[in-house]
C-alpha cells in the first residue's frame, strides 16, 4: 500500500495480494482518520459481498471468484466503540461486463485498487440499534 495526503484528502493505492477492508481499516487507524468518505476503483479476484435482510435482521454473504473489475467502491469511515468502522459498498463487473453489487465484506486485490478518502474534521460514532439490527450513526 502507498498513499499521499493532499489537503484533507488521501490518495491510496492498495496493491496486488492485499485485502481491501483490512488494509483500509489499518490505514485509517494509523492516520487517525475517524470520519470520512471513501471512493475507488480497481481489480479483485476474490470478493465477499453481502446484503442485509431487514425482516430477519441478518446479513447474507456470497463470494465472487475470478477476475472482476471494481467499477465502483464507495462508503464511509466512522467509529464504533472508539475503533475505526468502515461501511463500504461495491459494484463489480465480470468478464461479460455483468454487474454485481452489495455490502463489501472483503476483496483480495488482483491488480490494483485506487482509493480516495475525503477526511472530515470531527467524528461520528455508531451504536447498535435493536429495532433495525444495524450499527446506526449516532449524533
The mean of the pLDDT values for the chain is 96
Place of cell 471513501: 38
Q: Could you tell me what percent of the chain has a pLDDT over 90?
A: 96
d(CA 32, CA 92): 29
pTM reported for the whole predicted model: 0.93
- Domain residue ranges of the chain, discontinuous segments joined by +: 2-121
Question: Which tens digits make up the pLDDT trace of 107-120?
Answer: 999 999 999 999 99
Question: Which tens digits make up the pLDDT trace of 51-98?
Answer: 999 999 999 999 999 999 999 999 999 999 999 999 999 999 999 999
What are the beta bridge partners of residue 63?
48
> Domain spanning 2-121 has what CATH number?
3.30.1330.80
Cβ neighbors of 69 (< 8 A, separation 6 or more) are: 41, 42, 43, 92, 93
Q: How many C-beta neighbours within 10 Å does residue 136 have?
A: 12
> C-alpha 44: how far from its chain's center?
13
Amino acid at each position: 500500500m502507498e498513499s499521499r495526503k493532499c489537503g484533507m484528502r488521501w490518495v491510496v493505492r492498495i496493491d496486488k495480494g492485499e485485502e481491501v477492508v483490512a488494509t483500509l481499516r489499518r490505514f485509517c487507524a494509523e492516520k487517525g482518520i475517524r470520519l470520512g468518505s471513501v471512493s475507488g476503483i480497481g481489480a479483485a479476484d476474490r470478493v465477499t459481498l453481502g446484503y442485509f435482510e431487514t425482516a430477519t435482521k441478518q446479513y447474507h454473504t456470497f463470494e465472487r471468484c475470478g477476475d472482476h473489475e471494481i467499477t465502483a467502491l464507495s462508503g464511509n469511515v466512522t467509529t464504533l466503540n472508539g475503533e475505526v468502522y468502515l461501511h463500504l459498498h461495491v459494484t463489480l463487473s465480470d468478464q461479460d461486463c455483468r454487474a454485481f453489487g452489495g455490502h463489501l465484506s472483503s476483496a483480495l486485490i488482483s491488480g490494483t485498487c485506487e482509493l480516495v478518502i475525503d477526511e472530515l474534521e470531527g467524528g461520528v460514532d455508531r451504536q447498535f440499534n435493536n429495532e433495525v439490527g444495524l450499527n446506526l450513526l449516532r449524533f
